[in-house]
Amino acid sequence: MTAARTIVGMSGGVDSSVAALLLKQAGEDIAGLFMQNWADDGSGDCRAEDDRRDAVAVCGRLGMPIHFRDFSREYWDGVFAHFLAEYAAGRTPNPDVLCNREIKFKYFLDAARELGAEAIATGHYARVERVGDRHCLLRAADRGKDQSYFLHQLGQAQLAATKFPLGDSIKTDVRAIAREAGLPTHAKKDSTGICFIGERDFREFLSRYLPAKTGEIRDPQGHVLGEHPGVFYFTLGQREGLQLGGVRGRDPAPWYVVGKDVVHNVLVVDQGSESQYLLSQALWSGPAHWIAGAPPAARFQCMAQTRYRQQEEACEIAVGDDGGLQVRFARPQRAVTPGQSLVLYSGDVCLGGAVIAATDAPLEQRLREQAA
C-alpha cells in the first residue's frame, strides 16, 4: 500500500474529525494516527480508550487507514515531569504548550515521516502562511477558538510540514459539517482543562504527586486569616478553594490569591478581583522562542497575551543578551503568573513567546528583596 501523503492526528474529537474530512474532500491522500499520551493511572477517569474508539469510527466512516502510537513515556518525561517540578516550585506551568512542542509536533511528526508521509495535519484552530521562504503562524479566523497561543513554540521546520485545515473555519460550522457528514463525533463534548486531568478535581489529582503541606493564609499586611492545604494548589487570581468565608472585622467581599511564599509555605490573599497586589506593569521572561528564528529587533513594540483567551495588550519588548525578555505593558495587567507563557503578536502573526519568570507585582518584588 502506498504511504499517505498527509497523516492527520486523530484525537477522537470533532475538530480532528472535520480536519480529516476537509482534507479528504479536497482530494488529499490521508491516513490517521491516534496518539496515546497518558497511561491509565487506575482512577477510571482516563478517556483514552473512548477517544481511540471514536477515532477508529471516524476513520472507518471516511474510508481512511489509521495508525496508533503510544507516547505516554515521552509525555511523562517531556511534559508531566516538568509540570510537577514547576508546581512544586510555586509556579503555574502550561502543559499544553509543552505537549505541542514535545509530542504533537515532534514525536508525532517523526512517526508520520517514518510512515512515509510528507506532512501532518491537526484540528488546531490556527493558520500557516508562507511568505517568501518563511512560514508564518497566524491566528485562526475564529478568534474565540484561536489556538496560536499554544503553538507559539513551533519553528520553521515544523510549520513547513504542518496543515491546519480548520484555520479558516468557525466552530459552529465545524459541528454542522460533522453532523451533515454523519461523523460519530459531531455532538461530542469538547475536552476542557489539562488533558491528563480531564474532569477530575485538580487538587485531588495533584495531591497524588505533591503531598499536601498545610500552612498559613495571610493578608498582605501579614495577618493570619486561615489555613491552606498547600501553596502549589493555588495560582494568582484564584478565588475558589480558599474556604475563608467571612473573616471577623473584614468586609464580606470575596478573597483572591495575590501571592505565594513557597519558602515559608504562606499563601497571601486580598479582597477584590482588582486588588493592587494582583497588578503588574512589567515582566521578565526566560529565553524567548522566535517562530521566524530571530526577534524583529532588539527593542520593539507589539501586542501580547499572558493567558489564553486574554484580550491582547500593547507592550514594549527589550531582548536581553541571554535571549530573555523585559516587557513593559501600556497599562497594568492582572494576575500575570510566573510559569505561564507570554505570547507575542503583530496583527494576526504570532511572533513567538517565552515563559514568564518574574513580574513587578508588589508582593513578588517584596519576596525577591527579602530573599536577596
3-state secondary structure of 252: coil
b/e sequence 190-229, b meaning 16+ C-beta within 10 Å = eeeebbbbbebeebebbeeebeeeebbbbbbeeeebeebb
What is the reported pLDDT for 367? 80
Between residues 272 and 168, the one the model is more confident about:
168
Q: Count Cα atoms within 13 angstroms, Cβ side, for 333.
A: 25
What is the reported pLDDT for 260? 92
Closest listed residue to residue 17, CA positions, set 65, 50, 42, 54:
54
Give residue 203's pLDDT band: very low, low, confident or very high (50, 70, 90).
confident
Q: Are 52 and 12 in contact (CB under 8 A)?
A: yes
Alpha carbons 95 and 75: distance in angstroms, whole number: 10
Alpha carbons 225 and 219: distance in angstroms, whole number: 7
Alpha carbons 128 and 98: distance in angstroms, whole number: 20
Of the listed ranges 13-17, 102-106, 246-250, the least confidently predicted one is: 246-250
Closest listed residue to residue 333, CA positions, set 365, 311, 357:
311
| Topology adopted by domain 6-180 | Rossmann fold (3.40.50)
Distances (CA, A) of 41 to 48, 201, 274: 11, 15, 39
Give residue 185's pLDDT band: very low, low, confident or very high (50, 70, 90).
very high
Model confidence pTM above 0.85? yes
Point out the catalytic residue in the list 46, 59, 136, 195: 195
In the residue annotation, 302 being an active-site residue is answered as no
What is the reported pLDDT for 212? 81
Residues of CATH 2.30.30.280 domain(s) within the chain? Answer: 212-271
Span 255-273, average pLDDT: 92
Identity at 187, one-letter amino acid code: A
What's the whole-number average pLDDT of the chain?
91
Residues of CATH 2.40.30.10 domain(s) within the chain? Answer: 276-371
In the residue annotation, 315 being an active-site residue is answered as no
Alpha carbons 279 and 101: distance in angstroms, whole number: 30
Superfamily of domain 276-371: Translation factors (2.40.30.10)
What is the reported pLDDT for 370? 77
What is the reported pLDDT for 197? 63
What is the reported pLDDT for 117? 96
What is the reported pLDDT for 33? 97
Summarize pLDDT for 9-43 with one digit per residue, the tens.
Answer: 999 999 999 999 999 999 999 999 999 988 765 55
Q: Are 233 and 206 in contact (CB under 8 A)?
A: yes
Alpha carbons 101 and 272: distance in angstroms, whole number: 37
Span 327-331, average pLDDT: 98
Span 180-193, average pLDDT: 86
Q: Are 4 and 115 in contact (CB under 8 A)?
A: yes
Inform me whether the pLDDT recorded for 246 exceeds 80: no
- In this structure, CATH architecture of domain 212-271: Roll (2.30)
Residue with cell 502562511: 129
Closest listed residue to residue 101, CA positions, set 82, 127, 88:
82
Summarize pLDDT for 339-349 with one digit per residue, the tens.
Answer: 999 999 999 99
Distances (CA, A) of 243 to 113, 146, 229, 258, 321: 51, 35, 11, 15, 45
Point out the catalytic residue in the list 99, 136, 302, 315: 99
Inform me whether the pLDDT recorded for 196 exceeds 70: no
Give residue 193's pLDDT band: very low, low, confident or very high (50, 70, 90).
low
Inform me whether the pLDDT recorded for 204 exceeds 90: no
Residues of CATH 3.40.50.620 domain(s) within the chain? Answer: 6-180
Inform me whether the pLDDT recorded for 45 exceeds 60: no
Give residue 118's pLDDT band: very low, low, confident or very high (50, 70, 90).
very high
